[in-house]
Structure 1
């Protein structure tokens, strides 16, 4: 313990000019988090089983790498202030759990909070930031989700920068996921602080709703999408707008799940699964491992989509991709089926942010619809019937 305290003093003194770890989050992070399904009902066996499922079900091969423990893993702090896990829920300790997850070729994430207490009422990191970061590093943690509960009187810039510096000083590269809910507009100041920042309050597994808890609310898929207006210029490799964890497999319809996943992929939001991987149906797994949808999310150009056209009943979104490709999403927000009849030649897609343009009068693109596998090209109208609460997700490639 004395060695830990000496190290803590040394890193605090040597910390001037610390930065977040570079080289992490070159594309939006992919993984799983315990909160959406399990909340505080977590233990080490669940985390082990989830890691096993990620490997067995092809999720690891699809690109998911983080297994993240959310709130309620905490026990108490010892006499020196060092945080310990709940001994009943995590009897083997977090280090042993990290070793197990690493043995599967995956990475382990953990949760804390800027306040003295977490959202679940457990010990937060306020006043213990450097101590906690050293502890996490000693356990082999790879990802830190840092919440904003019990934050009255705190500066978000100060609180998150302090933990960033603490993580950097601990010496182990850890993804830093800022869960500040967008209250202080972190996209304007956190590019050098976090690898991602939440842009809204928590998600709720519904298409278009607000679940009001009195002092705070959860939002459905469309409500969160609408709150992203004006934010795309702040996202890019190493610093992503986080629309919260995925609710795929948590009670919405299959069409809604596909649309939800497509929206998150188009918007370059982290893909953090929030369902029970151990018992999900095959239809849910197919959505989560769709390699072509994931490729849109993980495109190395790192440009977030934008809505370039509102139709009578449909929205048209575009995302420039590396190598001259484009992704186009047609979104039916409504309650009735809608007819898609889109003449590519009547529209030029131009993006001032990426300085990219698709002029379909000059260039013909071949397209593939990601979910159905149907294909065509932009020399002909795009004709389809689109169910309510669903999307067409197209990848366009210049005809060779």
Structure 2
């Protein structure tokens, strides 16, 4: 009996050690919001091996990878018609003739990471096999293939408990032994921000984004996606739930898919102000220089990737102009004016009106009455100014002004 008990204790210790090691691998995968590219917004189900390899090439050649976009993520429709005889997932060999392991090796050789898609339900949103009842098999197969990121959707989940389903897949991923970033695509239906900080690295707070900045009438049909502004508004109120390792996700970017340059710039800036994951959804092989300039702007990306990890605050709205602040490391702030109207606006910035303390999250004070900041105009050539005097700016329709503020003196 003593011998059996001794071995049981050793086994339990080994299991605890393995679980601890797995959890340690899990940590650090999303200390800042994840950055990458996903196939769905532009291509839907029309994906194949050649296209994914070309996207990996383009991510590197365009400078996007160097700017921080490291994930190449396959969305729905990579699947074979059915699982193999043992119940493991396989890819469509017509579309992916070399197989997923070879594709992952190609992506990794580029210095990038490969993401894949599944669903907590019985089938995916496009009708392929889901992971329900096969969570540990799927996680093990993803690890064998060399997958680095899993987007886990929520279609066809009748009578499935969301917290249980996502926790089960988290445990399966950890048991598989490979660090895999876990992106929960639950659409915010069951308020994952209230329970998922220990389950996933990021969770959707909204329904699916579509190619419209602010006009929901742009969408027709029985199922309608949401505008950029609708997702902005849903996500903005949840800032207290975001932080290093666990991020609110207002869905992927539509930059470069057909909106105006003003709208693209505003969309990208506001996602950065909200510390949102930056997952591109355009065809990066053919994007314009203008689109590339927006997506690779290092100073704007740095607002999103700031190590303090605080989601920005929509502080006030003044006659259609939204005033946003985001606390940054080293006592700095990001300051954004967003013109939500359809007309160009001139706005007078009186810094003394914006003295406040972020009591909800960071406990940081702007203290414009005591501190003079040096500002940099990030979208206009980095022009410098100081906050010891008011500043007048012109903001085009559905566009932004973005400043980085660094404390330099006492008043």
Match of 2:77 among 60, 72, 76: 72
Report the equivalent of 1:56: 61
Secondary structure at 1:339 match in 2: strand
Q: Report matched runs for 1:361-380 at 5 Å.
A: 361-373=369-381, 374-380=383-389
Query: Residue 368 of structure 2 aligns with which residue?
Result: 360
CA distance in 1, matches of 2:102, 2:43: 21
Deviation at 1:359, TM superposition (A): 1.4
In the alignment, structure 1 residue 394 sits paired with structure 2 residue 403: yes
**What secondary structure sits across from 1:366 in the alignment?**
strand
Matched, 1:280 2:287: yes
* 2:127 paired with 1:118: no
Structure 1 position 313, deviation (Å):
2.5
| Partner residue, 1:208 | 214
Residue-by-residue CA offset, 1:340-376 (whole Å, 9 max, x unaligned): 1011123203201201011112111011111112321
2:319 to 293, 312, 316: 312
CA distance in 2, matches of 1:344, 1:138: 55
**Deviation sequence 1:113-172 (CA, Å, 0-9, x none):** 001110010011011100000000000000000000011111100110110000000000
Shift of 1:379: 1.1
Residue aligning to 1:8: none
**Structure in which a larger fraction of residues adopt helix:** 2
Give unmatched runs, 5+ long, in structure 1.
Answer: 1-12
Aligned residue runs from structure 1 range 26-37, under 5 A = 26-37=31-42
The answer to whether the 8 Å contact 2:236/2:274 transfers is no
Q: CA RMSD in A?
A: 1.6
Q: Note the C-alpha offset of 1:216.
A: 4.5
Runs of 4+ residues over 6 Å off in structure 1: 13-18
1:187 shift after superposition = 0.3
- Distance in 2 between residues matched to 1:90 and 1:256, nearest whole Å: 36
CA distance, structure 2, for counterparts of residue 28 and residue 209 of structure 1: 28
Which residue number corresponds to residue 199 of structure 1?
205
Checking the alignment, whether the CA contact within 8 Å between 2:249 and 2:277 is kept in structure 1 is yes
> What is aligned with 1:3?
none
Which residue of the partner structure matches residue 5 of structure 2? none
Larger Rg: 2
Counterparts of 1:1-400 in structure 2, within 5 Å, are 21-75=26-80, 76-210=82-216, 216-352=223-359, 353-373=361-381, 374-399=383-408
1:43-78 Cα distance to aligned partner (Å, 9 max, x none): 011110001001111011101110000000000211
* Partners of 1:264 and 1:299 in 2: CA distance: 13
Indicate the SS of the match to 1:398: strand
Q: Distance in 2 between matches of 1:390 and 1:166?
A: 43
User: How high is the TM-score relative to the length of structure 2?
Assistant: 0.92
1:209–1:223 Cα contact (<8 Å) kept: no
Give the whole-Å Cα distance in 2 for the aligned partners of 1:49 and 1:83: 24
